[in-house]
Chains A and B, each alone.
Chain A
Amino acid sequence: SQTIHQWPATLVQPVGSPLSLECTVEGTSNPNLYWYRQAAGRGLQLLFYSVGIGQISSEVPQNLSASRPQDRQFILSSKKLLLSDSGFYLCAWTPDRHSPLHFGNGTRLTVT
């Protein structure tokens, strides 16, 4: 069966520090991968998605970036965090674009 792993679960970082959140999927190949952010309210904002290695689509211009160095690995990064980057970050995968997304457990990021 397929599983998705996301870490760390929680993270507290100072303003201006770098960020690296990692997400991996097991039990499938060539998944579509996503990064969503959930801010203080409840809405989920799509940040990035990838349909293959090295293919990244950015939805929101900001100081975050994403990379997909391997088929089942998706990384969210920042060179310098802002206070506004605080939130709950969720990685998700789907075998194809019409299937339901399956989410990881999320990373709660607090920028201080």
Chain B
Amino acid sequence: AQKVTQAQTEISVVEKEDVTLDCVYETRDTTYYLFWYKQPPSGELVFLIRRNSFDEQNEISGRYSWNFQKSTSSFNFTITASQVVDSAVYFCALMQETSGSRLTFGEGTQLTVNP
């Protein structure tokens, strides 16, 4: 079975603070893919990043960075110097090699960045 846990339901920060969104996953597969999506108030889901299970290199894209650690089954997302426009619900998701095309989402973390 595959499962994604985002323990933080809501996070509130002040602009320019750094914030980390946690994601812990469960899978029996050795090959799997991890994703982060952003859902702004308008509702559409925006793809942010994909990681496969064989690539543990951390990634940085502008103010966004991701820390993938297989030893702890975590794929955490950090926003540096947060901005009001970062306010959204963020979803972590998992796709197992053996699960066909099923993408399992966590429950999401509501991030509010206050000015």
- Which of B35, B43, B103, B104 meets A88, CB within 8 Å? B43
Closest Cβ of chain B: how far from A42's Cβ, in Å?
A: 4
**Contact partners of A32 in chain B: CB under 8 A:** 101
Are B50 and A100 within 8 A (Cβ)?
yes
Are B33 and A98 within 8 A (Cβ)?
yes
**Contact partners of B105 in chain A: CB under 8 A:** 43-44
- Interface flag for B100 (CB, 8 Å): yes
Are B95 and A98 within 8 A (Cβ)?
yes
In the complex, number of A-B residue pairs with CB atoms less than 8 Å apart: 58
- Interface flag for B89 (CB, 8 Å): yes
- Interface flag for A102 (CB, 8 Å): yes
A41 in contact with B107 given A32-B101, A97-B95 (CB within 8 Å): yes
- Which of A49, A88, A104 meets B101, CB within 8 Å? A49
- Which of B47, B101, B107 meets A34, CB within 8 Å? B101
Bound-complex Cα distance A59 to B101 (A): 11
Are B102 and A59 within 8 A (Cβ)?
yes
- Interface flag for A90 (CB, 8 Å): yes
Interface mask (B89-114 → A, CB under 8 Å = 1, otherwise 0): 10100010000111111111010000
Bound-complex Cα distance A78 to B103 (A): 23
Interface residues on A, range: 20 to 34
Are B101 and A100 within 8 A (Cβ)?
no
A100 in contact with B102 given A90-B45, A105-B44 (CB within 8 Å): no
A104 closest partner in B (C-beta): B44
Interface mask (A26-55 → B, CB under 8 Å = 1, otherwise 0): 000000101000000111101001010000
Bound-complex Cα distance A90 to B91 (A): 14
Interface mask (A49-83 → B, CB under 8 Å = 1, otherwise 0): 10100000101000000000000000000000000
Closest 10 CB pairs of A and B: A42-B108, A103-B45, A97-B101, A44-B105, A100-B47, A43-B107, A106-B43, A105-B44, A32-B101, A100-B50
* Chain A residues within CB distance 8 Å of chain B: 32, 34, 41-44, 46, 49, 51, 57, 59, 88, 90, 92, 94, 97-106, 108
Contacts A/B (CB < 8 Å), 6 sampled: A32-B101, A44-B108, A49-B101, A59-B102, A99-B50, A101-B47
